[in-house]
Amino acid sequence: MKQLILITMSIFSSIFGSAAQQLDQIKVLEPNAYYNAINKENVQLIDVRTKREFDSGHIRKAINVDVFNRSAFVQYFEKFDRNKPIYLYCRSGSRSQRASKLLVELGFKEIYDLKGGYLNWKHE
């Protein structure tokens, strides 16, 4: 019984430990804070929506990398600096959360997500 408890605790620790680690690396910013942050030089700004969505409107200087095309997404980020902050957004915030978690798996240390996504963007 004691061994079963230790195994269960280990499983919970690994599950919740990695979730806590992801929370430390991923920050969700309100639109005004996001706007201020991305207006610095050489920002890694990524729109994770489809090309069609991106073409219908996007944040200035954003690069479009569709999170639904996982292999291309992963390959694209191989050339990025994992120690430099990266800023993501999508339509409403759901896909960028998914993309953020994937970037954590790829070794990115500092990820910022636009709260509410492009629908919540009032700038420009």
- Establish whether 90 is a catalytic residue: yes
Six-digit token pair at 53?
């969505």
In angstroms, rounded to a whole number, what is the distance separating the alpha carbons of residues 111 and 31?
15
In angstroms, rounded to a whole number, what is the distance separating the alpha carbons of residues 27 and 13?
22
CB 30 within 8 A of CB 115: yes
The secondary element (H helix, E strand) that includes residue 17 is helix 2-25
Six-digit token pair at 98?
């998914």
Choosing from 38, 67, 90, 114, the catalytic residue is 90
Catalytic residue IDs? 90
